[in-house]
Chain A
């Protein structure tokens, strides 16, 4: 009947062609919303520093967000402009995104994010905690700003030039350590770095092939400073005298003047040479380099172990430079010799060669005597990685696909210092790994899918003791949608890795199993529910040598966790003019093992429309964090936010 009505309506429309259609809109149309509000916290119970390290939301007026689209029916300067913004007003993270486009003419994107990056957890790095001094000697309080602009010209045409700029910068203060022989001294520092990336290229897209060519470059700058003002005495982390003398620091100024740049080239290719052959490949080359001018002036009662020398002041200049040519290439093909059979062959190489040198000139003042020292150290690091793989995929039917594959990974790595010094001045290692893969995807009906995947590897050489050596990975996923309004998913992953080499005896095992549910009866008219629960377990045992006495020890790490998140949306039945909405849910994380932790984040949000263009909302959140071994770092707080949404 519905179809018939549609036909009759269309027939009526066709028969009345002389009836003028309604006049289309000619002025730009604005749709979207703006959220303004205010947030209160009820006070932070427990550690404010941990709260700031993890949550960091504060009280005050907030521009909570906006999302609007401006569409121009006449398509004069733009088709649409979309603007999204979140969390402005002294928030730990803020974002702004703008998209403007005009079909076939341009496509412009701008993205800006600002993160407050704070970290102060005394349990992380506080050698003086036992003396009652609470200080994270690797803490920081910085802001990181990330911006990106991109402009595509003539999008959708067979050749499309494009340009882009990416920016990343950080600035702030922190605490770190000035390390000398015999003692190290916690000192404040300032941090400032920035990276700018400029790029431009052109894409050629034809029916049977595509090529992208891009050139770009980066400019990097970092100016970290460590300081201690003259007139104070810093006795450092060690209070034990050296040869009867107490070591201390009276003043320090150390500046890292780091600059760098890089140029890169990128070439991408896809082609379908014939109906049964697709080809793809990439060539990527970059050559970043760095130049450093480090200056350091310090005074106190300091010690040089190599000459068993005490000195009262020091000046150090270090000029260093490094470069890192990096070449990556890949080539592959999908071959379809039969309708149901696909063979994917791929080859990859990644070659990174790093070379650097540092020349230092040092002047020590000891008992009124000036002692010059100098050194020149060169370093190299080489990584050559290669991978060859073949995958065979067979569609046994439209419901069943099987895959088998093999991957061979090989490479070599080495590093060296000249002149040699210390325990090791050069090392090299080979990588040899054979990996077998298999998977099955079964979809007996449109609403059910089951995927199982296994991967196993055997190695005769890896770079590190903790690398994947002889490992097995298993993954299974199930998705079932018994009703249009109800879907259930399950996910299971397992990783076992063993390195039986003498002295290593690495035994690692982890698994995660998850289930999720989404139920939205009647199209969420009254309520919908979504929830996920995950159980995970990780066990790791690996032998190591205690650096104090070189005795054999075992590092054991355990992490058994239960994680859940859920959200229930309740909607007032339709028909009421100002129908409220209520959402409640949250997440929890509870773990036992090497770092028993609990972390709760329940939340509730109420919406109440006050008319067509205004609605009021109020939100409550609770954050509770606890860690069994460092109870003093737990926190809990309630946050209440209330605000108004304006909809034009």
Chain B
């Protein structure tokens, strides 16, 4: 039966092949692939990759399967996993090379080499399912979050804390804040208005510029004081009591030999008084003030 099947494949390959324009040596053509892999072919036909079948300029007309799997003539003559390229079995770098043959010179790739995904051998196909059993690019919030959360288990756990950005609810996605293809910012954070942190896309009132800046916001970003994924502390702060968020930095005497920024507040702040236990009661413009150098208004 196996021999019969092989013979019929060959016959049909010839029939299909002669009915089409000549293929480069070694290539079998997608119609031949479809004979045995119809489900996969039909799945591919629903994805943007199917445009390879029709677009002569890209050079893969009629052999879109082989754009990724390599020449398939030998595989049609002797179907075996050993004589066809399977990107899923290649190293991440080799698999990415196939994708980047077409996709390297696109804006999404500008930050790729600096991304932790590239550094850690997370290939394109880890997230992008080419054969359409799942979408090529997931768009729905719960699908995006589920995909990221399947590897970033710790981050997903942080979102289960009571004070969090609304990802578990499906109101936001991981890619609202992170660009999985890499950016110039740490943790692959998105940017806003060219080179400001992506946080300002939704928190525009914190962007400034302020006449009187609070230095850590500019030098270390929001995560200097906030746990952006989630926290047990109100306002997603890094500490349970606001005063410690502040005092852990503001604890140097003026002209101290310790060379870090942030001097101790004037001594009239008596921490036993409840008024002074949350610094932002008075220093309410903690992200920066337009009118007061002490961030009081």
Q: Which residue of B210, B211, B284, B290 is within 8 Å of A177 (Cβ)? A: B284
Most buried by B among A156, A391, A465: A465
Minimum CB–CB distance from A116 to chain B (whole Å) comes to: 11
> In the assembly, what is the distance between CA of A269 and CA of B240, in Å?
44
Question: Are the C-beta atoms of B258 and A501 separated by less than 8 Å?
Answer: yes
Known: A209-B105, A545-B247. 12 other contacts (CB 8 A): A95-B141, A179-B297, A212-B110, A220-B204, A265-B194, A354-B213, A417-B293, A463-B260, A465-B249, A547-B269, A555-B244, A589-B161
Q: Does any Cβ of B come within 8 Å of A154's Cβ?
A: no
Which B residues, 193 to 222, have Cβ-Cβ distances below 8 Å to chain A? 193-196, 200-205, 207-213, 215-216, 218-220
Q: What mask results when residues 66 to 105 of chain B are scored 1 for a CB within 8 Å of chain A, else 0?
A: 0000000000000000000000111111100000000011
Q: Does any Cβ of A come within 8 Å of B263's Cβ?
A: yes
Q: Does any Cβ of B come within 8 Å of A334's Cβ?
A: yes
> In the assembly, what is the distance between CA of A266 and CA of B196, in Å?
12
Q: What mask results when residues 523 to 556 of chain A are scored 1 for a CB within 8 Å of chain B, else 0?
A: 0000000001010100000111111111000010
**17 A-B residue pairs with CB within 8 Å:** A3-B36, A4-B1, A124-B242, A125-B278, A125-B280, A125-B281, A210-B106, A237-B281, A290-B208, A381-B213, A413-B215, A423-B254, A463-B215, A503-B258, A514-B153, A547-B247, A597-B162
Residue of B nearest to A552 (CB): B251
Which B residues, 223 to 263, have Cβ-Cβ distances below 8 Å to chain A? 224, 232-235, 238-242, 244, 247-254, 256, 258-263
Question: Are the C-beta atoms of B121 and A451 separated by less than 8 Å?
Answer: yes
> In the assembly, what is the distance between CA of A223 and CA of B98, in Å?
53
Q: Does any Cβ of A come within 8 Å of B15's Cβ?
A: yes
Also in contact, A441 and B120, with CB within 8 A (given A124-B278, A285-B194, A544-B247): yes
Question: Are the C-beta atoms of B274 and A126 separated by less than 8 Å?
Answer: yes
Question: Are the C-beta atoms of B218 and A354 separated by less than 8 Å?
Answer: yes
Q: Does any Cβ of B come within 8 Å of A322's Cβ?
A: yes
> In the assembly, what is the distance between CA of A289 and CA of B94, in Å?
47
> In the assembly, what is the distance between CA of A138 and CA of B251, in Å?
24
Chain B residues within an 8 Å CB radius of A399: 91
Minimum CB–CB distance from A453 to chain B (whole Å) comes to: 6
Q: Does any Cβ of B come within 8 Å of A608's Cβ?
A: no
Q: Does any Cβ of B come within 8 Å of A480's Cβ?
A: no
Chain A residues within an 8 Å CB radius of B196: 286, 288, 326
> In the assembly, what is the distance between CA of A125 and CA of B218, in Å?
25
> In the assembly, what is the distance between CA of A177 and CA of B275, in Å?
11
Question: Are the C-beta atoms of A318 and B153 separated by less than 8 Å?
Answer: no
Chain B residues within an 8 Å CB radius of A453: 120
Q: Does any Cβ of B come within 8 Å of A176's Cβ?
A: yes
Question: Are the C-beta atoms of A210 and B274 separated by less than 8 Å?
Answer: no
Question: Are the C-beta atoms of B157 and A328 separated by less than 8 Å?
Answer: no
Also in contact, A194 and B235, with CB within 8 A (given A269-B110, A465-B248): no
Chain B residues within an 8 Å CB radius of A258: 290
Residue of B nearest to A431 (CB): B219
Also in contact, A383 and B209, with CB within 8 A (given A423-B263, A464-B261): no
Also in contact, A330 and B184, with CB within 8 A (given A557-B240, A595-B232): yes
Q: Does any Cβ of B come within 8 Å of A615's Cβ?
A: no
Q: Does any Cβ of A come within 8 Å of B47's Cβ?
A: no
Question: Are the C-beta atoms of B151 and A489 separated by less than 8 Å?
Answer: yes
Question: Are the C-beta atoms of B271 and A282 separated by less than 8 Å?
Answer: no
Q: Does any Cβ of A come within 8 Å of B107's Cβ?
A: yes
Minimum CB–CB distance from A330 to chain B (whole Å) comes to: 5
Chain B residues within an 8 Å CB radius of A594: 239-241
Q: What mask results when residues 101 to 120 of chain B are scored 1 for a CB within 8 Å of chain A, else 0?
A: 00011110111111000011
Also in contact, A184 and B218, with CB within 8 A (given A121-B234, A379-B211): no
Question: Are the C-beta atoms of A115 and B89 separated by less than 8 Å?
Answer: no
Q: Which residue of B209, B270, B281 is within 8 Å of A138 (Cβ)? A: B281
Question: Are the C-beta atoms of A547 and B162 separated by less than 8 Å?
Answer: no
Question: Are the C-beta atoms of A328 and B194 separated by less than 8 Å?
Answer: yes
Chain A residues within an 8 Å CB radius of B140: 67, 84
> In the assembly, what is the distance between CA of A363 and CA of B238, in Å?
41
Q: Does any Cβ of B come within 8 Å of A415's Cβ?
A: yes
Q: Does any Cβ of B come within 8 Å of A348's Cβ?
A: yes
Q: Does any Cβ of A come within 8 Å of B27's Cβ?
A: no
Residue of B nearest to A166 (CB): B201
Question: Are the C-beta atoms of B93 and A205 separated by less than 8 Å?
Answer: no
Q: Does any Cβ of B come within 8 Å of A509's Cβ?
A: no
Q: Which residue of A184, A462, A534, A601 is within 8 Å of B153 (Cβ)? A: A534
Question: Are the C-beta atoms of B261 and A272 separated by less than 8 Å?
Answer: no
Q: Which residue of A323, A332, A344, A545 is within 8 Å of B251 (Cβ)? A: A545
Q: What mask results when residues 100 to 124 of chain A are scored 1 for a CB within 8 Å of chain B, else 0?
A: 0001000000000101000101011
Minimum CB–CB distance from A476 to chain B (whole Å) comes to: 11
> In the assembly, what is the distance between CA of A205 and CA of B108, in Å?
12
Q: Mark the stretch among A5-13, A21-29, A307-315, A569-577 that contacts chain B.
A: A5-13
Minimum CB–CB distance from B113 to chain A (whole Å) comes to: 5
Minimum CB–CB distance from A586 to chain B (whole Å) comes to: 10
Also in contact, A461 and B259, with CB within 8 A (given A177-B284, A278-B113, A383-B218): yes
Question: Are the C-beta atoms of B1 and A1 separated by less than 8 Å?
Answer: yes
Minimum CB–CB distance from B153 to chain A (whole Å) comes to: 4
Question: Are the C-beta atoms of A441 and B4 separated by less than 8 Å?
Answer: no
> In the assembly, what is the distance between CA of A209 and CA of B207, in Å?
34
Question: Are the C-beta atoms of A504 and B209 separated by less than 8 Å?
Answer: no
Question: Are the C-beta atoms of B242 and A377 separated by less than 8 Å?
Answer: no
Question: Are the C-beta atoms of B15 and A14 separated by less than 8 Å?
Answer: yes
Q: Mark the stretch among A32-40, A227-235, A558-566, A640-648 that contacts chain B.
A: A558-566
Q: Does any Cβ of A come within 8 Å of B8's Cβ?
A: yes
Residue of A nearest to B232 (CB): A597
> In the assembly, what is the distance between CA of A501 and CA of B219, in Å?
20
Minimum CB–CB distance from A501 to chain B (whole Å) comes to: 6
Also in contact, A401 and B153, with CB within 8 A (given A14-B15, A286-B193, A322-B290): no
Q: Does any Cβ of A come within 8 Å of B163's Cβ?
A: yes
Q: Does any Cβ of B come within 8 Å of A474's Cβ?
A: no
Q: Does any Cβ of A come within 8 Å of B265's Cβ?
A: yes
Q: Does any Cβ of B come within 8 Å of A88's Cβ?
A: no
> In the assembly, what is the distance between CA of A451 and CA of B157, in Å?
20
Residue of B nearest to A123 (CB): B234
Question: Are the C-beta atoms of A563 and B109 separated by less than 8 Å?
Answer: no
Q: What mask results when residues 149 to 170 of chain B are scored 1 for a CB within 8 Å of chain A, else 0?
A: 1111110111011110010111
Chain B residues within an 8 Å CB radius of A504: 251, 258, 260
Minimum CB–CB distance from A280 to chain B (whole Å) comes to: 5
Q: Does any Cβ of A come within 8 Å of B12's Cβ?
A: yes
Q: Which A-B residue pairs are the 8 nearest by beta carbons?
A: A195-B204, A356-B211, A514-B153, A534-B157, A324-B209, A210-B105, A544-B251, A595-B240
> In the assembly, what is the distance between CA of A550 and CA of B265, in Å?
10
> In the assembly, what is the distance between CA of A545 and CA of B291, in Å?
28
Question: Are the C-beta atoms of A222 and B38 separated by less than 8 Å?
Answer: no
Residue of A nearest to B163 (CB): A54
Q: Which residue of A271, A284, A563 is within 8 Å of B105 (Cβ)? A: A271
Most buried by A among B51, B234, B241, B284: B234
Q: Does any Cβ of A come within 8 Å of B23's Cβ?
A: no
Question: Are the C-beta atoms of A543 and B251 separated by less than 8 Å?
Answer: yes
Q: What mask results when residues 40 to 78 of chain A are scored 1 for a CB within 8 Å of chain B, else 0?
A: 000000000000011000000000000100000000000
> In the assembly, what is the distance between CA of A178 and CA of B281, in Å?
9
Q: Does any Cβ of B come within 8 Å of A86's Cβ?
A: yes
Also in contact, A503 and B252, with CB within 8 A (given A342-B93, A401-B91): yes
> In the assembly, what is the distance between CA of A357 and CA of B208, in Å?
14
Q: Does any Cβ of B come within 8 Å of A301's Cβ?
A: no
> In the assembly, what is the distance between CA of A461 and CA of B248, in Å?
17
Question: Are the C-beta atoms of A358 and B202 separated by less than 8 Å?
Answer: no
Also in contact, A284 and B195, with CB within 8 A (given A195-B204, A383-B218): yes
Q: Does any Cβ of B come within 8 Å of A599's Cβ?
A: yes
